[in-house]
Structure 1
């Protein structure tokens, strides 16, 4: 990426590959282009890449989100399986690093054993950037646990079905439930309910299970 590496370093790397200074200059000028018409003058309007880009932006315009796209010829993804257009997503202010990035890969699944080519598009994103963005915009939700209303505890495996039904019935009534099916001592269950701030503790033994 041109915004992450010094131009001089890129020129040195290209020169090491045997490219002449004129070719290096022409390539860097092409990568700096932000306009389709100017790019077409460089690569030709009949270029498959040019036609693919124009079709993508035409479709974006038809769907009503062309204004969300910015063409940047310098965007490069660091994985070799991409076979077409690649992209990165940023917040509108442009103050953070890329939130997501991806592109077209038509032969990736073949490397995992697929018997034929299967065109695909995908992307990955970083949760750290999302959290940072939501925090900056004061949109980060309160993820602290509100506790539960009730704890349901069967005394043994034989009572599990009855406990599951009881928990489902309570949840259906809008009650938040923690269903404990692990083997625990009753003393632990009481403390667990207290830790969660539960107002009800439903203990299901053989008699309760028989009554449904």
Structure 2
């Protein structure tokens, strides 16, 4: 089953009097349960593509179908609903809420949906990432690796169909990065989630089922083909 289909997608921005093309005619689809790495040099359009796939931004042309939803035909509220129901995010800079504890950060997505057992599930997820003794710590009291583990637990809180990760080990030292990689892949397998990851780390990319290479806003190779 296909959970993501990107069809003839382009993204342009108006820069003064000229148009800047960031993505040009991108086509690929991802099957449920597959792990995919998007690689390429800085400025190749990787993060822009990830944002379009996740419904964080609008395509200029083409279509993105995410878990059966055509994103370009939805309004902002509908897109936000799809994101909360279908996807999880892991960012390079963690994006934890500084005034909330680790436990509260993981509970947020579930509480927004009115889930009654949010605290119980959050505790279980934090135990899975090895942070059962850090529940009441705030982000400022946690190391970078611990903050990323909180963000991984939060990403899985809503049992997403698809997980988007943008340079998930980019701000971490080598040993911590390797631990985070293992956690992401292990949880991904346990939860049978589809993983789409932007990374400049080719060793990390090689651990995924499939690699697509971007250059100059174009998809130049796909290991599936």
TM over 0.5: no
Bigger share in strand: 2
- TM-score (structure 2 length as normaliser): 0.28
> Higher helix proportion, which one?
1
Q: Give the TM-score, by structure 1 length.
A: 0.29
Larger radius of gyration: 1
